[in-house]
Homo-oligomer: A and B are copies of this chain.
Amino acid sequence: MTGERVVIIGGDAAGMSAVSRIRKFRPDAEIVALERTPWTSYSACGIPYLVGGVVDGGVARLVARSPEQHRQQGTDVRTGHEATAIDLAAREVAVRPLDGDRYRLGFDQLLIATGGTPIRPDLPGIDLPFIHGVQNLDDAAHLLDHAEGLADRCQRVVVVGSGYIGLEMAEAFVERGCSAVVVEQAAQPMGTLDPEMGALVATAMVAHGLDLRCGVAVTGFEPETVLTDDGPVDADLVVLGIGVAPNATLAAEAGLELGVKGAIHVDERQATSAPGVWAAGDCAESRHLITGRPVHIPLGTYANKQGRVAGINIGGGHAASAGVLGTAITKLCATEIARTGLGEAEAERAGFSVVAARIETTTTSGYFPAAAPMTVKVVAERGTGRLLGAQIVGGDGAAKRIDTCAVAIAAGMTVAQVVDLDLAYAPPFSSVWDPIAVAAREALKLL
């Protein structure tokens, strides 16, 4: 396989995580990465903190490895080059450079890592220039320019949707001194949480000065106005936070099989339906570790992991993606939020008979001055007692404990086994019975 050429479409986490693995297994491979934007290997998750001013230095600050750094390591990174078509029969990609003539690029193996795009609902006025999605660094630069251009006026920001990005962007604009209205169609924010946990987030949002309007649907946009079924809302700037759709058009047009939510269908090795063609990251499916079903959960961690797996397989090694639990974490000021596995309703929809226990405790020993409230909910399978999911809302130090549950779920542990875990305790860090163990014990009582 000397001289084999691997083409990667997309120069962010999934695409570039593959490179070092390919190089390890096939030092002689030619690797060409096509990237539309000027950026590679950046942290899109950092954009809200850039907007909020927590992180300074502009969008370049979020770049973990620049195109030039990749080139120094031997990767032919072509920024400003967009892949416009994949010809599976000819094994070629059609490329349109921003400057220069279109060309076709042959490949022996292809990794599609085209990412995702913020969902733009098909509503009147959706293309107005004051509406922003937040996904790549070009989006971020554009959003920052717009926000800074409004700096002299009273800024009224409307965030549509109240998932992780919606929450983080709303907080970011409040940090900038704007007023932020969050419009959410559901009865509670954070649809990835069960409703009563979402209600805790709602309380925190209001306490943090956000104008949260739940049960309100956006019906359209007009200049300086968001139209809703609850009346118009003034807006200088709108941020879309209602989810991310896979960028799978290229793959679909090439005839590759799509799967759940239109994401590129892949197997555990990140192989698509065509030989030698792989996909990883926000454009591709994952497999849920509990249900075994394909899911589309666009997270930076999965992009990195799937890129690594694809890279090993492209290089001729053997790796399989482990499956995902939808583990996610965020914060809204002093309130931390995390979830993993299946929520209560989600588990029931997946066909499990479940018990759910929710406990109120503190982040440290109760007598510690830093003790902050913390709520933990766990979901377990009736009968087996197997832990299926957990959600946490609480103060400083609360949310990263979700990892304890993520590991326990991955290991197939029962809540009885979770009660027995040897978790770390000292007064500044925890109550003597760790909150996770307390929640598991409550679930055990219900089983």
Q: Which residues of A contact B (CB under 8 A)?
A: 13, 43, 45-46, 49, 54-55, 57, 61-62, 64, 164, 289, 299-301, 304-305, 321-331, 338, 340, 365-369, 397, 399-404, 406-408, 410-411, 413, 417, 420-430, 432-434, 436
Would B424 and A407 count as touching, CB distance under 8 A? no
Would A397 and B397 count as touching, CB distance under 8 A? yes
A424 and B403 in contact (CB under 8 A), knowing A329-B429, A367-B46, A432-B43?
A: yes
A425 and B45 in contact (CB under 8 A), knowing A403-B404, A407-B411, A411-B407?
A: yes
- Chain B residues with CB under 8 Å of A420's CB are 305, 321-322, 410
Selected A-B contacts with CB under 8 Å, 11 pairs = A49-B368, A49-B427, A55-B369, A55-B427, A57-B367, A400-B401, A400-B430, A403-B436, A404-B407, A407-B413, A408-B411
Task: Beyond the given A45-B427, A340-B424, please list 12 additional residue pairs across the A-B interface where CB-CB is below 8 A.
Answer: A13-B432, A49-B368, A54-B369, A61-B367, A301-B423, A323-B422, A329-B424, A329-B429, A329-B430, A331-B426, A400-B401, A410-B420
Would A406 and B425 count as touching, CB distance under 8 A? no
- Chain B residues with CB under 8 Å of A62's CB are 367
The copy count of this chain in the complex is: 2
A49 and B401 in contact (CB under 8 A), knowing A55-B367, A421-B410, A422-B406?
A: no
Would A45 and B410 count as touching, CB distance under 8 A? no
Would B43 and A424 count as touching, CB distance under 8 A? no
Would B46 and A329 count as touching, CB distance under 8 A? no
Closest to A13 in B: B432
- Chain B residues with CB under 8 Å of A417's CB are 322, 410
How far, in Å, is A409 (CB) from chain B's closest CB? 8
A434 to B430, CA, bound (A): 21
A424 and B411 in contact (CB under 8 A), knowing A55-B368, A432-B300?
A: no
**Listed residue (A49, A299, A331, A366) with the most chain B CB atoms within 10 angstroms of its CB:** A49
- Chain B residues with CB under 8 Å of A299's CB are 425
A55 to B323, CA, bound (A): 44
Closest to A63 in B: B367
